[in-house]
Structure 1
């Protein structure tokens, strides 16, 4: 049997790339990782993802798949061994996709706004971020992971919170992940980071994350300051 070609184009600090790496490792899939410069984009990246021109990009036996949540579903449907990432029940699967969309289009934007703004705008963004996390807290109660007894699709999508948000709290001199308000959610973070696959492939140390986002914050802060 010929060896499968599995290649992942990524960027060292991207949470979207990290979730794909974790998914492949949870499934036991061997892959080649190819680091990319997201500023000076390589001809390979432009060829494989000419529409969005960004990472992650997964190449499987010549087939190219882009966008991290789509890649997660592709991985789950292609390598059907346990653990299953998405629930088998159609309704539960739709819920996982709903909350993943909530994370991508609401929660992460609120958390970034809290990081890069000051004063009343930051206070409002912090409150809104906490309200968003409270919605996830309510859905998590009684379960170790959003996927149940094992890490699943939604856990991987939300994984950025476990290592980015504590660094952003320090940078922004704010408190969001309050264990007294979110006991289930903060326990989920501990359990998620303690999982062998996650623990053995963690993103950069917090100090490196902070250094990177100091520069990023300067660049994107003006965009949020225009928000009414």
Structure 2
């Protein structure tokens, strides 16, 4: 089978706390694909290997498959579905359902990280605006989740779950800086976060909320944010 011949030739260039890299790790775990993990110390600088593998954006994660780079986390996850079709697919088979999954994963990509970053970077009115935006983001995602166990619905744990799950350890920091509680704003999202955190692929790929909070503290010092 294809994956048995080539899955051992996978290398992931990543940074430990990156939610974008973690979604790739979750996908690899869901598919039981072996790979070499290479930690990029982004706080110290970017390696030549990373810069050569992703010369356009110069960012992690980068998946090397047989030495060929695949960039951008959501593209990497889709690539894994296509390159290893004999492994569990994170995208549903139905074209419309696939389009919807891509839409919501893209929504997470464009909204959550940027808004969350503004919560801890900004003060005063700009921070208040970020807080209001985050509350709307969580409510919007809760509406999409509805009463489903996972965003994948009948498909089960899927593409959107893998995309969003890495942000759940950041919730505590968002709550502290934004002065709100996810469980009060979006209780179904809070319950989903608890469920998804118990999944083996997720649990082995993420770090604790305390470690994420400490990392934000390091970033605030690095960038001179009081």
TM-score by length of 2: 0.88
Question: In structure 2, which of residues 179, 182, 191 is the aligned counterpart of residue 174 of structure 1?
Answer: 179
Q: Which sits farther off after the overlay, 132-141 or 106-115?
A: 106-115
Change in 2 beyond 3 A, CA 1:6/1:124: same
Q: Distance in 2 between matches of 1:211 and 1:7?
A: 28
C-alpha RMSD of matched pairs (Å):
2.1
User: How many aligned positions are there?
Assistant: 219
Q: Which sits farther off after the overlay, 59-68 or 69-78?
A: 59-68
The aligned residue for residue 225 of structure 1 is none
CA shift digits 1:124-173 (9 cap, x unpaired): 22111111111111111121111125221111111232111213323x16
Question: Secondary structure, in 3 states, of the residue corresponding to 2:179?
Answer: coil
The aligned residue for residue 58 of structure 2 is 53
The aligned residue for residue 72 of structure 1 is 77
Question: In structure 1, which of residues 217, 222, 227 is the aligned counterpart of residue 220 of structure 2?
Answer: 217
Alignment of 1:98-177 (within 5 A): 98-148=103-153, 150-170=156-176, 172=177, 174-177=179-182
Alignment of 1:10-25 (within 5 A): 10-25=14-29
Higher helix share: 2
The answer to whether the 8 A contact 1:116-1:220 is kept is no
Q: CA deviation at 1:44?
A: 1.4
Change in 2 beyond 3 A, CA 1:176/1:103: farther
Deviation above 3 Å: which 4+ runs of structure 1? Answer: 1-4
The aligned residue for residue 89 of structure 2 is 84
Gaps of 5+ in 2: none
